[in-house]
């Protein structure tokens, strides 16, 4: 074989030198870095060999080497070719397989696309079917709602038709009974009644039907519908008992038949007596008028400085104002008319005497103590000294007072400070017992010891219903004020129209009484109410007089709540009442229907100035619904502001006064002041009062008062000339105000007059006298009394709930034009003054109903949401608003702040947590428990039941820890917590809590207390919800007996202590003492007490009635016989 050198590249090629590492004999060689493939190398070698040798011969050594390499290359080539073929075939197979799979997937995709398209078509079809079904459903629901509405309408129409027919049947049966009674009297007198079957003549025949047998006339169904079985049974019932004094039916035996109508008439007349009594009996201000001499002025100063604030706190906790009136010096004493007016308004008069009595005080003493027809409390303080005797005038006055009046005496021997303290103790006792009527048992006094318990009496009567006595008092005073008139102004024709409305067959829409401002709408309605109460005692009248816009009396939610509570009162039902304004609108017609089904007489709802209500059409939409057959609605509106939709109702428009009425009204005002007008002056007034704005009732009344006021002291012709320049009521009010300003002696008094009127004008509901004296310390009692007397006399201001308000809307408009229109900042300045005053009260922890009423409203008017928010987070302010039923007002404030129910509840709860950290002592913890309970009740009324449980549970825990587990306040917490569980449908938990509350109340108060009746009612309602009617009925009966007994003891369902004490006194004031009318009233009261098994009260009343009727000069023989008959029974 050849050597390896033949494989080495030619010289000069660069390569790597490799040495022989095995030793000896080896030669170093250079190996090329890059080696070409074998086949290529072989071909190159053969070409070089062939070129060097001719013929192409190859040497032996090179030939062997090339063959080996060629074989290796061929083998490698074959191997690679096979691998390539195998790879190519496999890849071709894979490609074919992928093509098949692609074709298969393509076919599957086409199939799925086809299915998808089919599904889309099916979906579209189902969607169209669904929309068609929903549309059909909505149409069916609309048809169902229409059918339901038509069904309810038909039911109401049928009910009205049925009740109408039943009333016709009742009238016919009543006429039948009267004919039978007349027939019996004729037969008793020996007058023979001929039978038509036995008489040959058709004249003078009387068809007689025996008593208790139904006439054949009823069997023929002449009336077109048969009366219900219940109504016929009710009509045919008769009641045995003593006889009413006004009855003219002679009876046999010691008793008379009293039918249902007479009973209902007597009960209704007792329930809705609205006597016109003096202002002091219902005033929300405890007025203490002090008459003192120079000798006793030190006691007065100490009393006013040291003890008057304490009495003010006592009155404030019970919702009253306290005012002390004392004219200390002779120079400060106002005129006699002013002093007399103050004495008439006063609740208590205190006379402080020592040794002498100035002659200037004799007139006031006689007016206060000797001429006291209302028998108001009087107190005489007489300071004695050893060795010194009082003057003859003092001794004679004391003897006269002790003989005529029952005045309390304080004979004091000692120092001045001790005397002032004795006066304070006696005055506090008189205020609590005689004026405010706080008659509590020992147990109740213990339970109601804290100030938060002062609101408990109304909860005893109305259960969970939140009642505001101020609203009811405001309406009574508004009714009395509207009734004050010296003449009737020719209202007889309007009375006939109103009577026709009551007698008209149902259904009938509300009657709209329209007229211009001051035309006498309120006067007409109030006078007609009095006539209805007098001539139709079985008619129930619910009235509401709307005051100034934006005032409390114009809030629709409070109006509906008050009317609903009146319905509950007259139906003798005590049940939970929602405070949600929307639900109140729904529940009011239901309560109206409940009472109309029970009440035998008519029900009349009267709303005066309904157009002053905000959004009246929205909140009074129940007026357009069909009302029960015996319900009538009368509303009065200003003809200029009447809603357009109401103008289609039957309307009674008040015409302007004619010349005769104008003359009589002005003459009445002048005669009251002993002012005589000449004929020429009368003609001048007649010519002036001819336009629509100058011949309305208010303008003419104010004109007469203006003439009468200046008639004795000024020139009548001059004032007439000034009045004739006033063409409307507002301008006449401006003239009156300027005349009052001219009568004032100093610019200071004129400035105070402006301040008083402006502060009243920017307030929410008015301002009290005590607030005025605190706002303006320079305002003395004499100046304030003189200003208020002039403003009240000239019909600018009046009293309502102890607050000074504008008597008419035109007076308020005049004040705005006179003082506030020129500068827009004036209103803001006076509102800010009130804000600072009530904010100072809050800082002193004096949270009264006044600060809760005024301060949030003032912030709302200012648009200050931040301060309003802070005010609402004052827990005592919100508690005061809520407990008095001002739920809608509280919600409106929170809505203005921008808080929803949940955030409002969270903020209240956080505030309570912060307050709890600072609460120490038993009194603070009790107050904290009351706040937690109020929050829980508030959240329950909001519908946040889950959030209401926590504060009520916390209130329960605090009371159990701070008081006692068996304390009545613990029962209160259990009752409220159970009420939440009832609404939450957790009846088991509620029943357990109610039973615990019932057990605690029975142990604390006894088994016949109103609190026990309250728990029984709650349990009965719970059982009724669970369909346990037998258990519910037993508890209802037991509760009704307890309430009936409690009502007899209290004398009134509302439980007003003042009415309980002075009911008989009011009757004597209204009817007069020792008169037959008063005796008959006492007799009827005795009859009712007899029918209630209250024999002791019956015997007392009948004994007094017998004495009064026996001494009366005009005694009716029949009435006296009836009275003696009842007295013997």
Q: What are the pLDDT digits (tens) for 474-499?
A: 888 888 888 876 566 778 888 988 98
pLDDT band at 657 (very low <50, low <70, confident <90, very high): confident
- Residues 914, 909: Cα–Cα separation, whole Å: 9
pLDDT, mean of residues 1090-1113 = 50
Q: In what order do the strands lie in the sheet with 408-413?
A: 321-326, 285-292, 348-353, 378-384, 408-413
Write down the pTM of the prediction: 0.69
- Residue 746: pLDDT above 80? yes
Map 581-599 to HEC letters.
HHHHHHHHHHHHHHHHHHC
pLDDT, mean of residues 848-859 = 92
Q: Flag the least confident range among 403-412, 969-978, 1049-1058.
A: 1049-1058
pLDDT, mean of residues 879-908 = 89
Whether residue 403 contacts residue 396, with contact meaning beta carbons closer than 8 Å, is answered with: no
Of 709, 910, 894, nearest in space to 796 by CA: 709
Give the model's pLDDT for residue 150: 77
Give the model's pLDDT for residue 847: 85
- Residue 571: pLDDT above 70? no
Average pLDDT over the chain, rounded to an integer? 76
The DSSP secondary-structure symbol of 388 reads B
Phi, psi at 1025, each rounded to 5°: -65, -25
- Residue 843: pLDDT above 50? yes
Of 1022, 962, 953, nearest in space to 992 by CA: 1022
- Residues 224, 482: Cα–Cα separation, whole Å: 45
Tell the residue number behind the tokens 């191997």, with chain if given.
79
pLDDT band at 9 (very low <50, low <70, confident <90, very high): very low
Whether residue 706 contacts residue 738, with contact meaning beta carbons closer than 8 Å, is answered with: no
| Number of residues that make up the chain | 1129
- Residues 135, 151: Cα–Cα separation, whole Å: 24
pLDDT band at 1080 (very low <50, low <70, confident <90, very high): low
Give the model's pLDDT for residue 144: 83
Give the model's pLDDT for residue 756: 94
- Residue 331: pLDDT above 60? no
- Residue 135: pLDDT above 50? yes
pLDDT, mean of residues 27-52 = 45
Give the model's pLDDT for residue 444: 38
pLDDT, mean of residues 952-964 = 90
Give the model's pLDDT for residue 305: 92
Give the model's pLDDT for residue 476: 85
Percent of the chain whose predicted confidence (pLDDT) is above 70: 73
Phi, psi at 630, each rounded to 5°: -100, 20
pLDDT, mean of residues 263-270 = 48
pLDDT, mean of residues 390-403 = 86
Map 1092-1105 to HEC letters.
CCCHHHHHHHHHHH
Percent of the chain whose predicted confidence (pLDDT) is above 90: 24
- Residues 851, 771: Cα–Cα separation, whole Å: 11
Of 994, 1049, 964, 977, nearest in space to 446 by CA: 964
pLDDT tens, residue by residue, 138-147 = 888 888 877 8
3-class SS of residue 243: coil
- Residues 603, 997: Cα–Cα separation, whole Å: 38
Query: What residues pair up with 293 in beta bridges, in sequence order?
Result: none
In sequence order, what DSSP letters do the residues of 813-870 get, joined into one string? HHHIIIIISS-THHHHHHHHHHHHHHHHHHHTT---HHHHHHHHHHHHHHT-HHHHHH
pLDDT band at 279 (very low <50, low <70, confident <90, very high): very low
pLDDT tens, residue by residue, 177-228 = 778 777 777 766 655 544 434 433 333 333 333 333 333 323 333 333 333 3
> Where is pLDDT greater, at 643 or 236?
643
Residues 6+ apart with CB under 8 A from 632: 501, 502, 508, 511, 602, 603, 604, 605
The DSSP secondary-structure symbol of 385 reads B
Give the model's pLDDT for residue 66: 65
> Where is pLDDT greater, at 101 or 615?
101
Q: Flag the least confident range among 194-208, 313-327, 593-607, 965-979.
A: 194-208
CA distances from 949 to 452, 722, 926 (A): 22, 68, 18
pLDDT, mean of residues 103-130 = 91
Of 629, 572, 626, nearest in space to 600 by CA: 629
Q: Which of 424-428, 549-553, 1010-1014 has the highest mean pLDDT?
A: 424-428
Give the model's pLDDT for residue 868: 93
pLDDT band at 713 (very low <50, low <70, confident <90, very high): low
Give the model's pLDDT for residue 766: 92
The DSSP secondary-structure symbol of 1054 reads S
Tell the residue number behind the tokens 């005002």, with chain if given.
669
- Residue 86: pLDDT above 90? yes
pLDDT, mean of residues 719-726 = 88
Give the model's pLDDT for residue 94: 92
Q: Within a 10 A sphere around the Cβ of 768, how many other Cβ atoms? A: 20
- Residue 111: pLDDT above 80? yes
pLDDT, mean of residues 77-90 = 91
Whether residue 635 contacts residue 671, with contact meaning beta carbons closer than 8 Å, is answered with: no
Q: Within a 10 A sphere around the Cβ of 1060, how many other Cβ atoms? A: 15
Query: What residues pair up with 607 in beta bridges, in sequence order?
Result: 544, 635
- Residue 833: pLDDT above 90? yes
- Residue 60: pLDDT above 50? no
Pairing type for strands 15-18 and 29-32 reads antiparallel
pLDDT, mean of residues 905-926 = 88
Give the model's pLDDT for residue 267: 47
Q: Flag the least confident range among 256-270, 308-322, 419-433.
A: 256-270
Give the model's pLDDT for residue 89: 93
Give the model's pLDDT for residue 21: 42
pLDDT, mean of residues 886-903 = 89
């Amino acid at each position: 074989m050849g050597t390896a050198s033949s494989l080495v590249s030619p010289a000069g090629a660069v390569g790597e030198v490799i040495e022989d590492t095995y030793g000896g004999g080896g030669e170093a060689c250079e190996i090329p870095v890059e080696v070409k493939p074998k086949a290529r190398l072989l071909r190159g070698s053969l070409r070089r060999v062939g070129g060097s040798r001719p013929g192409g011969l190859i040497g032996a050594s090179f030939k062997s080497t090339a063959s080996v390499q060629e074989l290796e290359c061929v083998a490698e080539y074959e191997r690679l070719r096979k691998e390539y073929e195998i790879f190519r075939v496999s890849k071709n197979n894979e490609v074919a397989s992928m093509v098949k799979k692609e074709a298969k997937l393509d076919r599957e995709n086409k199939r799925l696309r086809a299915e998808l398209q089919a599904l889309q078509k099916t979906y579209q079809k189902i969607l169209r079917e669904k929309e068609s079904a929903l549309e059909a459903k909505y149409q069916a629901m609309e048809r169902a709602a229409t059918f339901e509405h038509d069904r309810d309408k038909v039911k109401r129409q049928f009910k009205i038709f049925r009740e109408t027919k039943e009333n016709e049947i009742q009238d016919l049966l009543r006429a039948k009974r009267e004919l039978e009674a007349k027939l019996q009297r004729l037969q008793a007198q020996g007058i023979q009644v001929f039978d038509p079957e036995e008489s040959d003549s058709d004249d003078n025949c009387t068809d007689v039907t025996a008593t208790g047998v139904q006439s054949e006339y009823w069997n023929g169904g002449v009336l077109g519908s048969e009366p219900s079985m219940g109504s016929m049974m009710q009509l045919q019932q008769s009641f045995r008992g003593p006889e009413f004094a006004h009855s003219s039916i002679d009876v046999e035996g010691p008793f008379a038949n009293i039918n249902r109508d007479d009973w209902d008439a007597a009960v209704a007349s007792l329930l809705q007596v609205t006597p016109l009594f003096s202002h002091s009996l219902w005033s929300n201000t405890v007025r203490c008028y002090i008459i003192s001499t120079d000798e006793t002025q030190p006691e007065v100063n100490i009393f006013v400085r040291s003890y008057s604030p304490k009495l003010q706190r006592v009155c404030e906790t019970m919702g009253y104002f306290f005012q002390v009136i004392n004219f200390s010096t002779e120079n400060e004493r106002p005129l006699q008319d002013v002093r007399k007016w103050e004495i008439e308004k006063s609740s208590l008069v205190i006379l402080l005497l020592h040794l002498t009595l100035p002659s200037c005080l004799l007139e006031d003493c006689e007016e206060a103590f000797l001429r006291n027809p209302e028998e108001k409390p009087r107190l005489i303080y007489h300071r004695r000294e050893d060795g010194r005797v009082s003057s003859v005038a003092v001794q004679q006055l004391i003897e006269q007072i002790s003989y005529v009046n029952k005045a309390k005496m304080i004979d004091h021997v000692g120092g001045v400070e001790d005397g002032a303290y004795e006066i304070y103790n006696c005055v506090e006792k008189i205020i609590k017992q005689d004026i405010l009527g706080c008659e509590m048992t020992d147990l109740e006094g213990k339970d109601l010891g804290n100030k938060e318990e002062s609101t408990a009496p109304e909860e005893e009567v109305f259960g969970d219903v939140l009642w505001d006595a101020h609203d009811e008092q405001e309406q009574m005073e508004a009714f009395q004020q509207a009734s004050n008139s010296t003449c009737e102004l020719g209202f007889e024709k309007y009375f006939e129209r109103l009577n026709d409305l009551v007698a008209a067959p149902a259904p009938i829409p509300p009657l709209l009484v329209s007229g211009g401002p001051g035309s006498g709408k309120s006067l007409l309605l109030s006078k007609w109410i009095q006539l209805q109460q007098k001539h139709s005692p079985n008619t129930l009248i619910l009235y509401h007089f709307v005051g100034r816009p934006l005032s409390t009396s114009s809030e629709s939610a409070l109006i509906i709540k008050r009317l609903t509570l009146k319905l509950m009162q007259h139906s003798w039902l005590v049940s939970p009442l929602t405070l949600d304004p929307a639900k109140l609108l729904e529940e009011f017609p239901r309560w109206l229907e409940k009472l109309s089904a029970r009440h035998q007489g008519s029900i009349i709802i009267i709303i005066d100035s309904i157009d002053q209500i905000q959004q009246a059409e929205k909140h009074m939409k129940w007026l357009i619904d069909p009302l029960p057959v015996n319900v009538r609605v009368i509303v009065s509106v200003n003809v200029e502001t009447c809603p357009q939709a109401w103008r289609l109702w039957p309307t009674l428009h008040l015409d302007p006064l004619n010349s005769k009425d104008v003359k009589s009204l002005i003459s009445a005002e002048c005669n009251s002041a002993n002012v005589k007008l000449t004929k020429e002056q009368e003609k001048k007034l007649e010519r002036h009062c001819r336009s629509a704005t100058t011949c309305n009732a208010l303008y003419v009344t104010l004109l007469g008062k203006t003439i009468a006021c200046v008639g004795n002291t000024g020139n009548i012709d001059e004032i007439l000339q000034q009045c004739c320049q006033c063409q409307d009521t507002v301008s006449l009010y401006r003239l009156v105000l300027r005349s009052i300003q001219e009568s004032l002696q100093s610019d200071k008094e004129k400035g105070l007059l402006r301040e008083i009127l402006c502060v009243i004008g920017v307030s929410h509901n008015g301002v009290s006298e005590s607030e005025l004296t605190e706002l303006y310390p320079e305002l003395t009692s004499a100046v304030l009394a003189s200003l208020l007397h002039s403003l009240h006399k000239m019909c600018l201001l009046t009293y309502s709930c102890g607050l000074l308000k504008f008597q008419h809307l035109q007076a308020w408009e005049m004040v705005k034009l006179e003082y506030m229109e020129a500068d827009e900042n004036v209103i803001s300045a006076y509102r800010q003054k009130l804000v600072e005053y009530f904010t100072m009260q809050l800082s002193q922890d004096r949270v009264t109903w006044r600060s809760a009423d005024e301060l949030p409203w003032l912030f709302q008017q200012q648009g200050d949401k931040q301060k309003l928010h802070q005010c609402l987070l004052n827990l005592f302010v919100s508690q005061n608003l809520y407990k008095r039923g001002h739920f809608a007002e509280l919600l409106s404030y929170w809505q203005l702040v921008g808080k929803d129910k949940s955030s409002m509840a969270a903020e209240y709860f956080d505030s309570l947590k912060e307050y709890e950290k600072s609460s120490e002592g038993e009194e603070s913890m009790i107050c904290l428990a009351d706040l937690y309970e109020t929050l829980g009740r508030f959240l329950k009324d909001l519908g946040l039941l889950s959030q209401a449980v926590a504060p009520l549970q916390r209130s329960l825990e605090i009371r159990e820890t701070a008081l006692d587990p068996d304390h009545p306040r613990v029962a209160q917490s259990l009752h409220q917590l159970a009420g939440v569980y009832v609404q939450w449908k957790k009846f088991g938990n509620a029943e357990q809590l109610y039973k615990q509350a019932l057990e605690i109340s029975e142990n604390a108060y006894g088994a016949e207390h109103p609190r026990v009746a309250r728990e029984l009612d709650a349990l009965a309602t719970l059982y009724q919800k669970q369909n346990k009617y037998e258990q519910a009925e037993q508890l209802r009966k037991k509760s009704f007996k307890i309430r009936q007994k409690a009502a007899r003891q209290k004398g009134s369902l509302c439980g007003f202590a003042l009415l309980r004490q002075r009911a008989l006194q009011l009757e004597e004031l209204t009817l007069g003492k020792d008169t037959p009318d008063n005796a008959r009233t006492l007799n009827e009261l005795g009859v009712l007490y007899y029918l209630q098994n209250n024999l002791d009260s019956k015997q007392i009343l009948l004994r007094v009635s017998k004495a009064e009727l026996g001494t009366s000069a005009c005694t009716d023989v029949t009435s006296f016989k009836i009275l003696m008959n009842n007295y013997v029974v």
